[in-house]
Structure 1
Amino acid sequence: MPISVGTVRDIPVRALKLCGLTWSGDLLWFSEGVLNQIIAIDPATGAVQHRIPCAAVRSDLTTMGGHLIQVVGDDRVLRVIDPATGDTITELPNPRPGEVLSGIEATQHGVWVGYEDRKVIDLRTTEGLALVDAIPVHARPAGVTVSDNYLAYADYHGAHINLVSLETRREVASYHVAGNPTGLTWDGSRIWYCDHTTLQLRAIMVPGISAQ
C-alpha cells in the first residue's frame, strides 16, 4: 500500500516541460525540454545560478566526473557537458539502442539507467557502460536516483516514488506524491523531484532514508 508524503520544499521554476534533475553538491540542476536548456538553481533561495543551452533535451540528467550528462535526441544518447562552459565534451550511445532511456544516475556503484519501455533499471560500469545488473520494476521508470541504501525511481503516471533495496534488489516501499514526478535526485537528506504538472522542483523526506 503506497504511503502519501507531503513535500517539505517547493520551488516554482520558469519552465514549460521539466525533464531531468541532478545535484552537484550545492546546486540543483534541471533540464527543460521545450526551451532546451539546463538550469542550475540555489535550493535555498530558488535563484538561478547558471543556464546552459542544450538542444534536443529528453528525459533525465546526472552528474559524473564533474560533468553533466543529459539524455538527448530521439535515440536517447548521452551528451557529456562541461557545466562551466556549456561545451559538449562528447556523446555516448544509448546502452540499449532503440529503447526508451528514461532515467539516469551516476553513483559510486556505477551508472543506473532506467528504461520506460522495458520496466527495468540497469546498473552499468562508468567506463564503457557495460551491463552489471538489471533490476525489473513494476512501473515505467521516469527519473532515477540513489541514496546510501536505496535506488529510487519516479512513476510519472501513478504519481509515486518507489524504492528498491540495493541489498536485495527488490522494491520495498512506494510513496504517493503531489503532482507527477519525472527527474529525481538525492541531496544527502531529501529526494527532490521535477513535478511535471505544476512546474516545480519539490522535495520529500522519506522515512528510514532521510537524514534526521
Structure 2
Amino acid sequence: MFTGIVEAIGQVKAINLNANGARVVIAIGNLDLADVKLGDSIATNGICLTVVDFDGASYSADVSSETLTRTGFANYSTGTKVNLEKAMLPTTRFGGHMVSGHVDGIGKLLSIKQVGNSIEYWIELSDSLKQYVAEKGSITVDGVSLTVNSVEDNRFRLTIVPHTTEQTIISTYQVGQKVNLEVDLIARYIERLLFCQEQDSTAQISSGISKELLLRSGFIKG
C-alpha cells in the first residue's frame, strides 16, 4: 500500500523487452533506498513494482505484458521522468489516501491553465471509470494523491498547488499527455458490496448498507 505522497522524482534508465513483458531499470534520483530490500514494492508513476535488484543509484523491476498494456509504460522510453514512492509503513504519516498501486486506466490531459499561484488541469477518463470519481473525492494521477475539485461527465478538474508541482512530474505535463489513474479504493469496494447484495437477495446476513443510505449520507450522487 501507498499514500500517494511522492518521495522523489526518478527516471527510466532502461526498458528491456522480453517474452514475459519487460525488465525496467529506474534511476532513483533522491529516493533513499537504505531501508529497501529485494521483494519490496516501489510505486513508479503509480504502478506498484517489485524490486528484483538495486544499487545506490537505481532499482530493477519486472513489468508484465498486462502492465505494459494497461498503463503508461507502453509510452515510456529511456529518460522518461517518473514519480517514486516506497511502500508505506505502519508508522507512516498518512498525508494522502489509500493507494494500491494498481492502475485502473489511462487518462488524457485536456487543458492546463494558470489560476493564481496554482495550475488547473482537466483530465478525461474512460466511461468505465467516471462513476468512481466524485467532487472533493480522491484520485491518484501518476502516483500522486490529489483532490477532485469538480466533475463533468467523463472529465474532472484538479487544482495543483506550487509545492505539488515542484515535488512531482506534474510540472512536465502537456496537453494531450496520457497519465495513469487509480480511482478511490473505497468506491470500488462499495460498488462490489452493493452488487453482491443485489445479486444475493436470499442472503441471511446484511451489512445494512444500501444505495439509499449512501445517497442520504452524501457518499454518492443520484
Larger-gyration structure (1/2) = 2
Is TM > 0.5 for Structure 1 vs Structure 2? no
Higher share in helix:
2
TM-score range, shorter chain: under 0.3
